[in-house]
Amino acid sequence: MVSGKSGDEGYREQALKLFPWVCGRCGRDFSGKKLRELTVHHKDHNHSNNPPDGSNWELLCVYCHDNEHQRFLEADARGPLRPEENKHSTFKAFAGLSELLKDK
């Protein structure tokens, strides 16, 4: 918890002092009345983890914040990936590009 502050308003006020008023996902700017649409997201999803340097926070608009929590809930419901699902793509988008550019 931020020292001297309590609850949501304490860390929100602190985050608004630390970070630019821009959504960390969609990049929208916020000011005036629209500033209320900018929320504090806890990166580790632990609302009790409020370091004063803001390292566990990011500012997200209400839409991106809802999306982030929905993705977290869906991943949690899906459970851990099985080893065969954890494969990386082998597609190489720029394979052969040097050959194509050789004559230019």
Per-residue pLDDT tens digits of the chain, which is 104 residues long:
344 444 455 999 999 999 999 999 999 999 999 999 999 999 998 999 999 999 999 999 999 999 998 988 888 777 776 666 556 666 677 787 788 788 76
Structural domain total, the chain:
1
Residue 94: the pLDDT is 76
Distance CA 88, CA 26 (A): 26
Residue 24: the pLDDT is 95
Whether 68 is covered by a domain: the verdict is yes
Whether 62 is covered by a domain: the verdict is yes
Whether 13 is covered by a domain: the verdict is yes
Residue 88: the pLDDT is 61
Question: In the numeric block, which tokens belong to residue 13?
Answer: 């006020």
Whether 11 is covered by a domain: the verdict is yes
Distance CA 1, CA 48 (A): 7
Domain that holds residue 8: 1-76
Q: How many CB atoms lie within 10 A of CB 20?
A: 10
Whether 22 is covered by a domain: the verdict is yes
Residue 87: the pLDDT is 60
Residue 102: the pLDDT is 81
Residue 4: the pLDDT is 41
Whether 101 is covered by a domain: the verdict is no
